[in-house]
Amino acid sequence: MAILAVNAGSSSLKFSLHPYEGGQVLPHTVSGNFEGLEPGGQPILGWKHQGKKHKETIVVPANGAPFQVALARLRSLVQELTQAQGLDAVAHRVVHGGGVFSASVRVTDAVLEQLARFNSLAPLHQPHNLEGIRQFRQAFAQVPQIACFDTAFHAQMPEVDYAFALPKALQAQGVRRYGFHGLSYQYIMSVLEQETIRGRGRVVMAHLGNGASLCAAVGGVSVATTMGFSALDGLMMGTRSGSLDAGVLLYLLEQGWDAKRIEKLLYKESGLLGVSGISADMRTLRGEAAQGNADATRAIDQFTHRVIRETGALTACLGGLDLIAFSGGIGENDAVLREQVCERLAWTGLRIDPQRNRQADGKHAWAVHAPDSRIEIWVIPTDEGRVAAREAAALLREDCAVAA
Active site residues: 150
For residue 23, say whether it is annotated as part of any ligand binding site: no
Nearest 5°: phi and psi at 324? -125, 135
For residue 261, say whether it is annotated as part of any ligand binding site: no
For residue 242, say whether it is annotated as part of any ligand binding site: no
Q: List for the chain the helix, strand, coil content (%; round to 5).
A: 45, 20, 35
For 211, half-sphere exposure in the C-beta direction (CA atoms, 13 angstrom radius) is 17
For residue 278, say whether it is annotated as part of any ligand binding site: no
Task: Output DSSP code: residue 336.
Answer: H
For residue 330, say whether it is annotated as part of any ligand binding site: yes
Task: Pick the closest to residue 339 from 326, 320, 321, 323 (CA basis).
Answer: 326
For residue 215, the cross-strand partners are 205, 225
Run of H or E including 302: helix 294-318
For residue 383, say whether it is annotated as part of any ligand binding site: no
31 Cβ contact partners less than 8 Å away, ≥ 6 residues apart: 14, 15, 16, 17, 47, 48, 385
For residue 319, say whether it is annotated as part of any ligand binding site: no
For residue 264, say whether it is annotated as part of any ligand binding site: no
How far is Cα of residue 92 from the mean position of the Cα atoms in its chain? 13
For residue 93, say whether it is annotated as part of any ligand binding site: yes
For residue 189, say whether it is annotated as part of any ligand binding site: no
For residue 349, say whether it is annotated as part of any ligand binding site: no
For residue 211, say whether it is annotated as part of any ligand binding site: yes
Q: Indicate the residue type of 192.
A: L
- CA separation for the pair 207, 212 (Å, rounded): 6
For residue 281, say whether it is annotated as part of any ligand binding site: yes
**Positive or negative: CA dihedral 271, 276, 277, 282:** negative
Q: Extract the annotated binding site.
A: 7, 14, 93, 207-211, 281-283, 329-333, 384
Give the annotated binding-site residues for Mg(2+).
7, 384
Q: Annotated binding site for substrate, which residues?
A: 93
User: What residues form the annotated binding site for ATP?
Assistant: 14, 207-211, 281-283, 329-333
